[in-house]
A and B are shown apart, each in its own frame.
Chain A
Amino acid sequence: IAGITQAPTSQILAAGRRMTLRCTQDMRHNAMYWYRQDLGLGLRLIHYSNTAGTTGKGEVPDGYSVSRANTDDFPLTLASAVPSQTSVYFCASSHSGANVLTFGAGSRLTVL
């Protein structure tokens, strides 16, 4: 079934540890996005990529990095996790920038 796969589904992480959330899509979408969802704050864009080889900063990029080595994969890395990064992270993709988004199932991250 075509779509977006995120891993892990959930993770508990000690503060200061490095963590990479994985995202893979098989729809050949050009654009990919990472959002975090927090109660009362909705969905906030962390980083995005319009096409392989390019990335851009969203609304809340600090403490996160991304790479887009190919069309399918868009990993999100927390270099040194902090408790404020406890959240649900959604990866999304679209055929082109600002088009309709398809979301993955999400990754729930808890930083202690």
Chain B
Amino acid sequence: GQQVMQIPQYQHVQEGEDFTTYCNSSTTLSNIQWYKQRPGGHPVFLIQLVKSGEVKKQKRLTFQFGEAKKNSSLHITATQTTDVGTYFCGSNFGNEKLTFGTGTRLTIIP
């Protein structure tokens, strides 16, 4: 079936270090969406990428969509304690349902 693989499952970083999570698919993606879920909270939409090679930035967050539209990454520069949470990627594979990756849980060591 259509799946989005996300790695790593967990990441522990010292505050101030960078963090990256990756999503990969065996099939071409029509789009990629990224969500953040704070501990005890619900997923909140961050961004959507649709174009091959697209790069978008939100302050310290950089989102990339691969040239082949089969992978994506989220990079956080100089992590802060407010970045703690689980980051999910998802794609609809051209249909009406959004399929998510398993998520990357980020913890920050002060």
Contact = CB atoms under 8 A, between A and B. Distances in A.
Given A45-B97, A58-B97, A98 B44 contact: no
B59 interface: no
Interface stretch (B11-19, B61-69, B70-78, B99-107): B99-107
B95 A42 contact: no
B90 to A, nearest CB: 8
Contact of B102 (A40, A56, A100, A102): A40
The main secondary structure of chain B at its interface with chain A is loop
A11 to B, nearest CB: 17
B45 A100 contact: yes
Interface in B22-38: 31, 33, 35
A49 to B, nearest CB: 10
Contacts of A27: none
A56 B102 CA distance: 22
Interface stretch (A14-22, A65-73, A76-84, A103-111): A103-111
B79 interface: no
Contacts of B48: 100
B43 A98 contact: no
A42 B6 contact: yes
Given A41-B102, A42-B101, A42-B102, A101 B45 contact: yes
Nearest to B10: A40
A100 B96 contact: no
B45 A31 contact: no
Given A43-B88, A97-B96, 8 more contacts: A41-B102, A42-B6, A42-B101, A43-B43, A45-B97, A45-B98, A98-B94, A103-B43
26 contacts: A33-B98, A40-B102, A42-B88, A43-B90, A45-B98, A48-B96, A48-B97, A56-B96, A58-B97, A59-B99, A90-B42, A97-B95, A97-B96, A98-B92, A98-B98, A100-B33, A100-B48, A101-B33, A101-B35, A101-B45, A102-B45, A103-B44, A104-B42, A105-B41, A105-B42, A106-B42
